[in-house]
Amino acid sequence: MSHRILLTSLSFGVATALLATPAAFAQQPAQAPVITTTKVPNTDNVYVFRYQFHQSMFVVTPDGVIATDPIGENRPAAEAYIAEIRKITQAPIRYVVYSHHHADHIAGGKPFKDLGATFVAHNKAKERLTQAPRADIVPVDQGVDGTTKLSLGGTDVELHFVGRNHSDNSLVLRLPKEKVIFAVDFIPVQTVNFAAMPDSYLPDWDESLRRVIAMEWDTLIPGHPGPGGRLGTRQDVQNHLVYMQELSAEVKTAADSGKCPDAAKAEIKMPKYATWQQYGQYLAGNIERYCTFHTKGQ
């Protein structure tokens, strides 16, 4: 039902856009963004903030809040994020931890900085953001090497670096007592990888998935919602590793036959994954990325 409503309003929007002058279009009320905050099952104080199709984790303690990605690139997500936190606690927001350096997840953090939060990220992310600063990205105050633990109000949050994958600076946040992890973009839940996997490191990515599987945890908060908005499980990480291995093997066969990239992109189907999110949209991009890997070795 909700899909039907969405499709209807989208087609209405397109028709309106075609007919309307820019000024008239600008007066159309913007479609309300999807903003939800949900407590992670089996925890007392771990939450998922979702703004459209981006997600962040935040942790509430008596001594303050540990927040993550502001997800506010070209949109007021950070203000909404803070408003959601304030429905739960008035405790100070002590930290904002960046999952990795990509702007769609970390831009827009100024409202958190204005409240005095300390911004934390992997040293490599700090270095990248120092070399290529952006006005809409709050600089990193505290760089970490991936073995740091934040302790606040009786809750521990470990910051792990598990190797290069979808970036060279992705952190996995793990709450040992709550058995929750937060990992962004390198473990899509029942979803193929984004596009042609920009900024990806192969074969390191597989190893980082193995390291996550070897950690102790029960619930994965992904940076984008899984099917039906669900969170992830250990089985999802295993499935993603198998997906990448099976796709790599298929593309290697094609590469060895000189089919990369165009014929490989046209011919390879992975029917086992046809029900995964973004399969139709991005499988060809994923194939292209593995063609580069198997023909150029990186």
Binding mask 51-90 for Zn ion (x = CB under 5 A): ----------------------------------------
Of residues 114-173, those binding Zn ion (CB under 5 A)? none
In the complex, minimum distance from the CB of residue 185 to Zn ion, in angstroms, rounded to a whole number: 4
Q: Measured from the CB atom, is 224 or 259 closer to Zn ion?
A: 224
The residue number whose beta carbon is nearest to Zn ion equals 102
In the complex, minimum distance from the CB of residue 23 to Zn ion, in angstroms, rounded to a whole number: 36
β-partners of residue 155 are 152
Tokens of 183: 């990992």
Q: Measured from the CB atom, is 183 or 241 closer to Zn ion?
A: 183
Upstream peptide bond of 111 is cis (omega within 30 degrees of 0) = no
Q: Measured from the CB atom, is 138 or 187 closer to Zn ion?
A: 187
Q: Measured from the CB atom, is 195 or 213 closer to Zn ion?
A: 195
Q: Measured from the CB atom, is 99 or 219 closer to Zn ion?
A: 99
User: Among 139-147, 157-165, 184-192, 227-235, which window interacts with Zn ion (CB under 5 A)?
Assistant: 184-192
β-partners of residue 181 are 174, 220
In the complex, minimum distance from the CB of residue 121 to Zn ion, in angstroms, rounded to a whole number: 13
Tokens of 13: 């929007």
Position 102 contacts Zn ion (CB under 5 A): yes
In the complex, minimum distance from the CB of residue 199 to Zn ion, in angstroms, rounded to a whole number: 7
In the complex, minimum distance from the CB of residue 93 to Zn ion, in angstroms, rounded to a whole number: 23
User: Among 1-9, 116-124, 183-191, 247-255, which window interacts with Zn ion (CB under 5 A)?
Assistant: 183-191
Distance CA 255, CA 114 (A): 52
Q: Measured from the CB atom, is 206 or 218 closer to Zn ion?
A: 206
In the complex, minimum distance from the CB of residue 272 to Zn ion, in angstroms, rounded to a whole number: 25
Q: Measured from the CB atom, is 190 or 200 closer to Zn ion?
A: 200
Task: Tell me the longest C-alpha to C-alpha distance in the chain.
Answer: 62
The answer to whether 244 and 201 have CB atoms below 8 angstroms apart is no
User: Among 40-48, 65-73, 146-154, 182-190, which window interacts with Zn ion (CB under 5 A)?
Assistant: 182-190
Distance CA 261, CA 254 (A): 9
How many residues in the shown chain lie near Zn ion by CB under 5 A? 2
Q: Measured from the CB atom, is 194 or 293 closer to Zn ion?
A: 194
In the complex, minimum distance from the CB of residue 241 to Zn ion, in angstroms, rounded to a whole number: 18
In the complex, minimum distance from the CB of residue 45 to Zn ion, in angstroms, rounded to a whole number: 26
Residues found near Zn ion in the complex (CB under 5 A) = 102, 185
